[in-house]
Each structure stands twice: as C-alpha cells, then as structure tokens.
Amino acid sequence: MITVPFDYHSPRTVPEALKLLSTLGDDAKLLAGGHSLLPMMKLRFAQPAHLIDLGKITDLRGIAQVGNEIRIGAMTTEYDLLNSKLLADKVPLLVEGAGLIADPQVRYKGTIGGDISHGDPGNDHPALMLALDASFVLQGPKGERVVKADGYFLGMYATLLEPGEILTQVRVPVPAAGCGYAYQKLKRKTGDFATAATAVMLQMKGNTVAKVSIALTNVGATPLKATAAEAALVGKQINDASLNEATRLAMGICDPAPDQRGDADYKRAMCGEMTRRALQKAYERAAKA
C-alpha cells in the first residue's frame, strides 16, 4: 500500500517534461493516469525516485480529426474515449474497447497513452491499435518520430519507446465507411484483464472479404497481429469453413502464459473462440453492398 518516497514534478508543457526526463534520467518515471504505475509502486514492484506528472499538460489531451486521421492526445482518458461522439461515429471499435476496460473510476483516470506505453500484454489498447493500424508519435530530446503500432510492442512491459521519450499522440486512420468492427473479450469479471480477447476490423466487397485486420490480446508476451489468419480470409466468404481456418491460424500464433485465468491450452482455445465471435460480429456490422 505504501510506496517508497519520491519527488514529484508537474510540468506544464511537453518540452518542460522532456527536459525533466533528460535531467533526472532512469530514476524518473512519467505519471499519466497512474492506474498501472501507482499500483506497482504501492506493491514496491517499481521504486522510481521521481515522478513526472503529465496531468497538467493540456496539449496532451483531446480527440480531433485531421485529414483522414483521428488524432488522440496520449493523456486522453478512457472516459473521454467512451463518451466521444467523433469516435462513436468514425472509430466505434475504440469506444467498444474502452467500455470493456477496467471500471468507471479507473476509466476517469487511465489514459490511452498510458495503456499503450505500459506494454502489459493484458492491456486492451495494444491489440486495438494493431487492428486499427494506428501510429504513435514519440517526442524525445532529438525531436519527434512516428512509429507504427505494428512492431511497437517488443515484449512484456517493453516497447519501442526509448528512455527520454514521451508518447504524445495516437494516430488512427479513419476506417473506410461500412467497415465492420468488433472487440470480443473473455474475462472472469468486469474490470479484469482478458483471459483472451480479439479485435477485428473487416471490410467486405460484395460477398467476399476485401480487407481484414485481426489482433489478439493477452495470449503472448505482446499483443499479436494474426497475419496468417487475415491472409487466409481475404477474397473468401465468411462461412464456417473460412472461420474455422482463420480461428485455427490465430490459435497457431498464441503462446499464452498459464496463470489463474487458465492454462495455455484453455487460453489458446478461448483466443480461437473470441476470434470467431469477433469476426462474426464484425461481419454482421459490415456493409455488404
């Protein structure tokens, strides 16, 4: 319950935060919503000597469309995502996903940027980002770089984010009109991390799949993009045979860690089931004209 002592910093701008980060070095951690970091500190899994709170940097919060892209500030909360009319209209997958994350209190504080930066395979945004082909803006002492979500997640709690960098913005290409979507999450109770979950974006052309994106949550050390399952579906109709094949291929890339949510076999099977359900739901929602 009690963290080790630390110093607290509350910069008002990103450059100020970057300066603090470079001055304080490895002893400093960025504080966003605080609903992963503080719990780890309260159990003394993490003992940073300095916290740099990004909460007062208003530039880091907000959802806007710029051209054919939705730009979401890293400090935008789950609550903001859940209540965004723009997202409901343009990227409903993110709204569906946010509604399955944690509980109301946590959603008022937890941020999309924090959920992604934490690099916990149990988190939901990483797979949602893969399914949406999102990019992340990383600002560092040498300036800004934009990296793809696909390739960003390196391992448990490890991402491309370098020491000294801040993830400042999430960029999501606006999905094509009529795109089907779904996030299917199996969990033991509301607020739990997924036993297995699958995010799907699906675009039909007539009776056949034109484009599909499938990403898996909590069945490996990182979120997984089920590329073989995607490739197997393109040009096919959605039916039992094609769903069986996609499910089999998605299960093939799972490498789940056994824990109280189940052993590896169970989680792999549930990943298959969530993938099947997400594809079916996305298919129901896709325009088939």
Partner 1 sequence: MAKTQTVSFQLNGKKVETAVEPRELLIHTLRERLLHTGPHIGCETSHCGACTVDVDGMSLKSCTVLSVQCEGADMLTVEGLEQGGVLHAIQQAFHEEHGLQCGFCTPGMMTRAYRLLKENPNPSEQDIRYGIAGNLCRCTGYQNIVKAVQSAAKKLAATATA
Among 20, 24, 46, 53, binds partner 1 (CB under 8 A): 53
Q: What is the largest CA-CA distance in the chain?
A: 61
Decide if residue 5 touches partner 1 (CB under 8 A). yes
Among 14, 106, 228, 253, binds partner 1 (CB under 8 A): 106
Least separation in angstroms between CB 128 and partner 1: 20
Decide if residue 104 touches partner 1 (CB under 8 A). yes
The span of 98-106, 156-164, 201-209, 257-265 binding partner 1 (CB under 8 A) equals 98-106
Closer CB to partner 1, residue 2 or residue 289?
A: 2
Q: Count other C-beta atoms under 10 Å from residue 203's C-beta.
A: 20
Cβ atoms of 184 and 195 closer than 8 Å? no
The span of 106-114, 207-215, 223-231, 247-255 binding partner 1 (CB under 8 A) equals 106-114
Q: Count other C-beta atoms under 10 Å from residue 90's C-beta.
A: 18
Closer CB to partner 1, residue 102 or residue 216?
A: 102
**Residues 126-145: x where in contact with partner 1 by CB under 8 A, - otherwise, as a string:** --------------------
Decide if residue 265 touches partner 1 (CB under 8 A). no
Torsion of the alpha carbons at 232, 176, 65 and 171, rounded to the nearest 10 = 10
Angle, CA 78 vertex, CA 75 and CA 83 arms, to 5°: 115
Contacts to partner 1 from residues 180-219, by CB under 8 A: 190-191
> For every residue of 43-106, which 3-state class applies, written as one string?
CCCCCCCEEEECCCCHHHCCEEEECCEEEEECCCEHHHHHCCHHHHHHCHHHHHHHCCCCCHHH
Decide if residue 32 touches partner 1 (CB under 8 A). no
End-to-end CA distance of the chain: 56
Closer CB to partner 1, residue 78 or residue 165?
A: 78
Decide if residue 8 touches partner 1 (CB under 8 A). yes
Decide if residue 273 touches partner 1 (CB under 8 A). no
Decide if residue 255 touches partner 1 (CB under 8 A). no
The span of 32-40, 114-122, 176-184, 202-210 binding partner 1 (CB under 8 A) equals 32-40
User: In 3D, which of 223, 224, 243, 219 has the Cα closest to residue 233?
Assistant: 243
Least separation in angstroms between CB 136 and partner 1: 25
Cα(159)–Cα(119) distance, integer angstroms: 6
Q: Beta strands 50-53 and 28-31: pairing type?
A: parallel
Cβ atoms of 153 and 159 closer than 8 Å? yes
Q: How far does Cα 58 stand from its chain's mean position? A: 22
Side-chain-side CA neighbours of residue 230 (13 Å) = 19
Least separation in angstroms between CB 135 and partner 1: 29
Among 25, 26, 43, 155, binds partner 1 (CB under 8 A): 43
Residues near partner 1, by CB under 8 A? 1-8, 10, 34-35, 38-39, 42-43, 51, 53, 55, 79, 102-106, 108-109, 190-191
